[in-house]
A = this chain, B = another copy of it.
Amino acid sequence: MKIGVPKEIKTLEFRVGMVPSGVRELVHDGHEVIVETNAGIGIGMTDADYEKAGATVVAKAESVFAEADLIVKVKEPQLIECAMLRPDQVLFTYLHLAADPEQAKALVDSGTTAIAYETVTAEDGSLPLLTPMSEVAGRLSIQAGAYALQKANGGRGVLLGGVPGVAPGKVVIIGGGIAGTNAAEMAIGLGAQVTIIDRSVPKLREIDGIYGGRVRTEYSTKHSIELCVTDADLVVCAV
């Protein structure tokens, strides 16, 4: 199969649909991979890296879309990209169509078969292509929160871990799923006092089993949320 990887063109999108090691796997299995020049530049991968992995690097997105049977991207296709898609092609990317009717229409008009990453479902009902996004989001949330709490950044001047003799900051995480537990791990790591609120007692039990005395688990009620949130330095909503 001919697989194409165009450079992402959405503003502030630095990622790329496939890394060179992915190219190498596909080429090894007999596929052909066409990559737009500089597609990996945002993550520090050069055209030479892709070529070494077996890809053909081409100068223009048009060439990628023209030749490939399968297009692998990160972000939803922009209008200019939709115009290049064909009915006999498959597009594999995040779509988030609900929020973007204009894109949805262009995509339908293209006649392409589009598979949204966010809808790929594993046998056990999990969403394997969304989970890493939740992991990253959960971990980043605490990093962002710690930064925002610094006085110089307009925060209240609380250091999440405190220092000996000074109490640590209070982090309340609403939701004990993937994003929530990843946030909790970072907050624990920085030394904060962490509370996780969830509606599922079995989930709280699992969290209690993993983090023991390092996380306070609270069953979610209007009352517990009210108490915890009004007392918190940082609230992470991970529902």
* A residues 110-129 touching B (CB-CB < 8 Å): 122, 126, 128
Does A87 touch B at the CB level, under 8 Å? no
Does A98 touch B at the CB level, under 8 Å? no
A212 to chain B: which residues have CB within 8 Å?
185, 191
Q: Which of B24, B161, B168 contacts A222 (CB 8 A)?
A: B24
Q: Does A202 lie within 8 Å of B159, measured CB to CB?
A: no
Determine the distance from Cα of A189 to Cα of B146 in the docked complex, in whole angstroms: 13
Determine the distance from Cα of A192 to Cα of B212 in the docked complex, in whole angstroms: 10
A126-B202, A214-B214 in contact; A139/B159 too (CB < 8 A)?
yes
Q: Does A143 lie within 8 Å of B189, measured CB to CB?
A: no
Does A136 touch B at the CB level, under 8 Å? yes
Interface centre among A188, A189, A190, A202 (most CB of B within 10 A): A189
Distance from A154 Cβ to chain B, minimum over Cβ atoms (Å) = 11
Q: Does B213 lie within 8 Å of A210, measured CB to CB?
A: no
* A residues 206-226 touching B (CB-CB < 8 Å): 207-210, 212-214, 216-219, 221-224
Does A80 touch B at the CB level, under 8 Å? no
Q: Does B143 lie within 8 Å of A207, measured CB to CB?
A: no
A205 to chain B: which residues have CB within 8 Å?
131, 135, 164-165
Nearest neighbor of A140 in chain B, beta-carbon distance:
B159
Distance from A138 Cβ to chain B, minimum over Cβ atoms (Å) = 9
A14-B151, A208-B164 in contact; A214/B213 too (CB < 8 A)?
yes
Q: Which of B21, B24, B207, B222 contacts A21 (CB 8 A)?
A: B222
Distance from A21 Cβ to chain B, minimum over Cβ atoms (Å) = 3
Interface centre among A44, A131, A163, A205 (most CB of B within 10 A): A163
Distance from A44 Cβ to chain B, minimum over Cβ atoms (Å) = 7
Q: Does A165 lie within 8 Å of B201, measured CB to CB?
A: yes
Q: Does A188 lie within 8 Å of B189, measured CB to CB?
A: yes
Determine the distance from Cα of A65 to Cα of B122 in the docked complex, in whole angstroms: 49
0/1 string, A134-152, CB within 8 A of B gives 1: 0110011001101100111
19 contacts across the A-B interface (CB closer than 8 A): A12-B152, A14-B157, A21-B222, A21-B223, A24-B221, A43-B157, A122-B202, A135-B163, A135-B164, A135-B205, A139-B159, A139-B161, A143-B143, A143-B160, A164-B208, A164-B217, A165-B201, A185-B191, A209-B210
